[in-house]
């Protein structure tokens, strides 16, 4: 007799400008992970336009669901659970994915679970390294978030620090705009920094030496603006390298300190900025010096995706028995600790 296959979860992510759908078998067998990035659409405006994002999610999402099912070689009726992001993010885009997910769950008469996008980022680590679970410290660093979170076990999170103004990726994107780069600018700044001199300009390291684990990046942006006004001929590669040196210094200092303070042996780094080659090298070296294992899931799991959303859904539903009813609303400013009662 054939053993019963583990249940399938359909994950949906539309909190910002990525439309993403994934199919997960059991807790960590990823069958499909499709992402459509709207970045090119928003590049002409220099940032994400919420209404444009919502409309684009509406047109793309049904096709992405079909693509994901085809890639996973399963049919919609094989799905046992729908998990969709319900916050934090842009309320219009969130509403599109949430409504679509609820519609599928209602139509199939299967359970539905709303997922906190921030918990999703942490689960990128679980998908990447299911065997090396908590405890660990997590640095979630992207265009929307910069947070340090202590994870004693999955499902239990202590927010250790977060940005008091801009996220690190957001600051890089805004600085990129000042030097004429297209949105999002992080990857190009990464590349340019390799050619530039990180010591050319000593930009400030806001809050790097302040007690606690909060971050601030908006002062850095202002310093770059003033520097460019005074030195319009400064080489852009030197600006990129010097800005990145500041961002990397701050992130390394705070995250290594937090990992030590909480007596954790592992630091996992997730979110789009985790792709940064300079941050990866500096954190890996700083971790090695202090006996901390620093891990970065593959890029496809670091940037916004639905695999991580499906993974939270599968864990919360199949391991903890949670689900939401279909009245769950999107929560634009959902915090790390907030989880709608399930």
CB of 15 to ligand KG4, least distance (A): 7
- Our CB check for Zn ion shows the closer of 245 and 312 to be 312
Pick one of ligand KG4, Zn ion, none as the site partner of residue 275 (Cβ within 5 to 8 A by kind): ligand KG4
- Our CB check for ligand KG4 shows the closer of 108 and 187 to be 187
Site for ligand KG4, rule CB under 6 A: 16, 142-144, 169, 172-173, 184-187, 190, 271-273, 275-276, 303-304
Pick one of Zn ion, ligand KG4, none as the site partner of residue 186 (Cβ within 5 to 8 A by kind): ligand KG4
Listed in sequence order, the residues at least 6 apart from 283 whose beta carbon sits closer than 8 Å to its beta carbon are: 251, 252, 255, 256, 267, 269, 294
- Our CB check for ligand KG4 shows the closer of 96 and 104 to be 96
- Our CB check for ligand KG4 shows the closer of 15 and 323 to be 15
Tokens standing for 217?
A: 């990046």
CB of 196 to ligand KG4, least distance (A): 14
CB of 226 to Zn ion, least distance (A): 30
Pick one of Zn ion, ligand KG4, none as the site partner of residue 303 (Cβ within 5 to 8 A by kind): ligand KG4
CB of 145 to ligand KG4, least distance (A): 6
Place of tokens 């929307």: 144
Neighbours of 153 (CB within 10 A): 9
Tokens standing for 43?
A: 């590049």
Show the beta-strand stretches assigned E in 123-254: 136-141, 146-153, 156-162
Q: Give the side-chain half-sphere CA count within 13 A for 100.
A: 27
- Our CB check for ligand KG4 shows the closer of 92 and 111 to be 92
Q: Are the C-beta atoms of residues 330 and 100 closer than 8 Å to each other?
A: no
Chain centre distance of CA 92: 19
CB of 8 to Zn ion, least distance (A): 24
- Our CB check for Zn ion shows the closer of 102 and 145 to be 145
CB of 246 to ligand KG4, least distance (A): 13
Listed in sequence order, the residues at least 6 apart from 90 whose beta carbon sits closer than 8 Å to its beta carbon are: 15, 16, 48, 50, 53, 54, 332
């Amino acid at each position: 007799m054939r053993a019963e296959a583990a249940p399938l979860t359909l994950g949906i992510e539309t909190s910002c400008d990525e439309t993403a759908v994934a199919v997960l078998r059991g807790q960590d067998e990823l069958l499909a992970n499709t992402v459509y990035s709207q970045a090119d659409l928003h590049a002409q405006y220099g940032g994400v336009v919420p209404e444009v994002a919502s409309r684009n999610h509406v047109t793309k999402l049904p096709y992405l669901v079909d693509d994901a099912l085809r890639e996973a070689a399963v049919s919609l009726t094989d799905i046992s659970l729908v998990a969709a992001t319900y916050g934090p993010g842009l309320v219009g885009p969130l509403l599109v994915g949430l409504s679509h997910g609820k519609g599928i769950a209602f139509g199939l008469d299967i359970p539905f679970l709303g997922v906190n996008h921030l918990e999703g980022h942490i689960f990128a680590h679980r998908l990447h390294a299911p065997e090396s679970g908590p405890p660990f410290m997590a640095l979630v660093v992207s265009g929307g978030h910069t947070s340090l979170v202590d994870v004693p076990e999955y499902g239990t999170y202590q927010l250790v620090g977060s940005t008091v103004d801009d996220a690190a990726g957001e600051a890089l994107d805004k600085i990129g705009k000042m030097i004429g780069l297209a949105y999002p600018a992080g990857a190009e700044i990464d590349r340019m920094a390799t050619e530039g001199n990180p010591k050319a300009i000593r930009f400030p390291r806001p809050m790097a030496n302040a007690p606690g684990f909060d971050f601030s990046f908006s002062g850095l942006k202002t310093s770059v603006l003033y520097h460019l006004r005074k030195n319009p001929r400064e080489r852009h590669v030197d600006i990129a390298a010097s800005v990145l040196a500041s961002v990397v210094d701050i992130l390394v200092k705070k995250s290594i300190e937090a990992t030590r303070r909480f007596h954790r042996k592992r630091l996992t780094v997730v979110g789009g900025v985790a792709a940064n080659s300079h941050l990866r090298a500096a954190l890996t070296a700083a971790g090695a010096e202090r006996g901390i294992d620093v891990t970065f899931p593959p890029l496809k799991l670091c940037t916004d995706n639905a695999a991580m959303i499906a993974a939270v859904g599968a864990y919360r539903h199949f391991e903890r028995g949670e689900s939401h009813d279909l009245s769950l609303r999107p929560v634009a400013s959902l915090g790390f600790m907030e989880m709608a009662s399930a």
